[in-house]
Structure 1
Amino acid sequence: MVHINWAALGSVSLVALVAVAVVTTLFAVGVRSLATHTTAREGGQSGVGGLTTALLCFAACLAVVGYGIFLIVAR
């Protein structure tokens, strides 16, 4: 008979759901910031704030995904 550890399954599911929400939100904010940068550049402004925000969001996405891959490969 197979025993299922429901507490562990629930915690893994919750962490996965939160991670998906965080990565999706960071990526969406990064894309929006990149669009803001592009619009500012077309308007003759520098748009440095939008580019900085986009790079930080994309770097955070990459860090979260890289950490997840590290956890999978390390075991």
Structure 2
Amino acid sequence: MEVHNPLIPAGYDIAWSSVAILTFVLLIVALVSLVRTARRLTGTQALLWTAIILFVPVVGPLCWMLIGRRAAAPPSGSA
């Protein structure tokens, strides 16, 4: 008979906890990035990106990191 210790989490508990932590970290990184580039966005754009990042769990932050930051970046030819 195998004895299971309830204090040691199962493998799937560890995996899902890791996914949740990574999702939270991605959310925080995207929000910090948005705040740093917000002065190059209009108020409406910043509010819309904030809502997308917060309410669309993984896709929202990824869209900001891949699309939004580039759109908010200053032109590369400016000096």
TM-score normalised over the length of structure 1: 0.51
CA-CA distance at 1:56 after TM superposition: 3.9
Amino acid at match of 2:10: L
Mapping for residues 1-75 of structure 1, pairs under 5 Å: 2-4=3-5, 9-37=10-38, 39-40=39-40, 46-58=42-54
CA RMSD of aligned residues (A): 2.9
**Partner secondary structure for residue 10 of structure 2:** helix
CA-CA distance at 1:48 after TM superposition: 2.7
**Structure with the higher fraction of residues in helix conformation:** 1
**Partner secondary structure for residue 42 of structure 2:** coil
Amino acid at match of 1:49: Q
TM-score normalised over the length of structure 2: 0.49
Evaluate the alpha carbon distance shift between residue 54 and residue 23 of structure 1 in structure 2; reply closer, same or farther with a 3 A threshold.
Answer: same
Q: What are the ranges of 5 or more consecutive residues in structure 2 without an aligned counterpart?
A: 58-79
Which of the pair has the greater relative contact order for Cα pairs under 8 Å at 6+ separation? 2
- Name the count of aligned residue pairs: 54
Amino acid at match of 2:24: V
**Percentage of identical aligned residues:** 19
Evaluate the alpha carbon distance shift between residue 59 and residue 34 of structure 1 in structure 2; reply closer, same or farther with a 3 A threshold.
Answer: farther
Amino acid at match of 2:19: V
